[in-house]
A = this chain, B = another copy of it.
Amino acid sequence: MAKNEIPYKIYLNENEIPKQWYNLRADMKNKPAPLLNPGTLEPMKAEELEAVFCKELVQQELDNETKFFDIPQEIQDFYKMYRPSPTVRAYCLEKALGSPAHIYYKFEGNNTSGSHKLNSAIAQAYYAKKQGLKGVTTETGAGQWGTALSMSCAYLGLDCRVYMVKISYEQKPGRKEVMRTYGANVTPSPSDTTNVGRAILEKFPGTNGSLGCAISEAVEYAVSHEGYRYVLGSVLNQVLLHQSVIGLEAKAALDKYGVKPDIIIGCAGGGSNLGGLIAPFMGEKLRGENDYRIIAVEPASCPSFTRGEYRYDFCDTGAVCPLAKMYTLGSQFIPSPNHAGGLRFHGMSSILSQLYHDGYMEARSVEQSKVFEAAEFFAKTEGLLPAPESSHAIRAAIDEALKCKETGEEKNILFGLTGTGYFDLSAYKSFNDGVMTDSIPTDEDIAASLAKLPKVDK
């Protein structure tokens, strides 16, 4: 055994996998602002949401009070195929940094979707199946979410239709092929299978597509076909609820060894992984039981927390979705190129936005060249090739550990390693070739994007 008898990898037993999801909203004094109907500017009602989403998921979405939701047995059984995931003590990284800090990471990449997305995909697919639906639709950019949903649907025998941003469809044939192997119907977006797709194709024949357009197509297909609903892999309250398994497991693992993290770090795109990782820790902080420093790390190319505004905005570029109150760069914002496809969303989870607004967490943005520097260092010392998204958290964890080296403090740092970089090797190539560039939006870019938004006085 290593020093302190803390193993390299802390695995919980199978019967310690959480049996309930934890709803952080129940412990928030200031609840996240409700979704608004873009027509009436009134809070979306359950009936309205049920045209798009499954019934039980709508209940989870709207419920700010119930503290714990039982995880259905079928989902628990599926979790057992790839959970519990390890909480890893990064001994080799600590040694390589020469830092007295104790670094831990919760690793969610040991499943074929390559990330934490599977935790919510199986839940959303399960409720669709339970409702007697034929299938679900979704969009995917980088591909982790589409893969996770394909795997879940294959397991449950549901039809799965994925609209994949055209440029990703062409540049990531491997991702597409995994989804096809799981029986999913993968369509490059924009496509001629929907009105919105056809309209865009006519207007911009050579377009590469966008996440906003893919969302619009997936929603249109779902609402216009009997027996289909739309599902989303981040941002929504229900997704953060499902992802609480990450934090619950990480906390249980650290509690076993009496370790209390001083700093908790996660990358932030739509907020699903960060919201999941911090859930039980933030709960203690909100209840005044314990204090933790919590840091969200976002790309400098898409800095919604650090340079966006806290206001109502559309969740999609096409402006077909409800309005959410969140830190946003504006739904018309086009981020400059960044290889962390999972962090290119213009907005942020309403839950995390409220918590950040109320001062319960910090945020920082980092440039991608610094992120890949950290990714390569981590790969070499910890033997694991991280996803570009996760590497934002690695960067911040290394920076905090280096501060400890200066001060001599033995802080406990926990970060979320959401996934692996096996499908991101063109990004690594540009880093290895020394041609990776950083590009940061100007204040004018952001102001112009925000100026296009409707003013909602709520």
Residues of A within 8 A of B (CB): 1-2, 7-9, 11, 13-15, 77-78, 80-82, 91-92, 110-112, 114, 118, 151, 154-155, 173-174, 177-178, 180-183, 376, 379-385, 420, 422-423, 425-426, 428-429, 431-432
Contacts and interface: CB of A to CB of B under 8 A. Distances in A.
Contacts of A78: 383
A379 B182 contact: yes
Contacts of A431: 181
Contacts of A8: 14, 80-81
A1 B154 CA distance: 24
Nearest to A153: B380
B81 A432 contact: no
A181 B379 contact: yes
A123 to B, nearest CB: 14
A425 B423 CA distance: 11
A181 B428 contact: yes
Contact of A177 (B111, B381, B432): B432
Contacts of A13: 7
Nearest to A8: B80
Nearest to A380: B154
Contacts of A77: 91
B381 A155 contact: yes
A320 to B, nearest CB: 32
A147 to B, nearest CB: 9
Contacts of A15: 1
Nearest to A11: B11
A333 B384 CA distance: 37
B110 A177 contact: no
A180 B432 contact: yes
Contacts of A81: 8, 92, 382-384
Contact of A112 (B14, B155, B420): B420
A376 B182 CA distance: 8
Contacts of A155: 92, 380-381, 383
Nearest to A107: B110
Nearest to A114: B422
Contacts of A422: 112, 114, 174, 178, 422-423
A151 B383 contact: yes
A90 B383 CA distance: 27
8 contacts: A9-B14, A81-B382, A92-B155, A111-B384, A174-B425, A177-B428, A178-B422, A183-B380
B181 A383 contact: no
B173 A9 contact: no
B82 A385 contact: no
A427 to B, nearest CB: 9
Contacts of A11: 11
B420 A181 contact: no
A173 B112 CA distance: 20
B80 A9 contact: yes
A425 B178 contact: yes
Contacts of A429: 173, 177, 180
